[in-house]
Amino acid sequence: MVQATPLLLVLFLALGAHGLAVKKCSLTGRWVNDLGSNMTIASVNAKGLFAGSYHTAVTATSNEIKQSPLQGSMQKSPNQKGQPTFGFTVNWSFSDSVTVFTGQCFVDEQGKEVLKTMWLLRSHVDSIKNDWKATRVGTNVFTRLQLQE
């Protein structure tokens, strides 16, 4: 039994260290995507609802780009193990369009949080005949925006 004690201690420490290494991904904060667009999520409430703002770096309109509101929901399932799925809608303040995003918050191998998303952008068209050109689809990867010191 004396020989088993050190083995059990090592096993306990290894398992405990593994549990401590698991970092949870949080949507709250400031994010930048691969195109340079910025997003801020103020807080996520107990039901998984959140709000924030989005400032796009790209647009198909000639209008001046303005910061736009976003509203969303995050899955609060315990099965997601700290890497939640989510969705949010951006109601563009400077155009007649709306974008919906869906994705998942991951922690990569270096411990950095990453949001992998897919989006649908719906633009206004004047007739059903032009419906074919009203929806665009794409993907974005967001990383946490770090403040410069």
3 state DSSP class of 39: strand
Cα–Cα distance, 76 to 24 (Å, whole number): 13
Q: Which residues contact 61 (CB under 8 A, 6 or more apart)?
A: 94, 95
Of 23-27, 51-55, 80-84, minimum mean pLDDT range: 80-84
Query: In angstroms, what CA-CA distances link 135 with 15, 39, 48?
Result: 49, 22, 28
Span 66-109, pLDDT tens digits: 889 999 999 987 676 789 999 999 999 989 999 999 999 999 88
The β-bridge partners of 71 are: 51, 89
Measured between alpha carbons, how far is 120 from 43 in angstroms, rounded to an integer?
Answer: 24
- The domains located in the chain, with CATH, are 24-144 (2.40.128.30)
Does position 129 have pLDDT exceeding 70, yes or no? yes
pLDDT at 81: 77
What is the pLDDT confidence band of residue 23, given thresholds at 50, 70 and 90?
A: confident
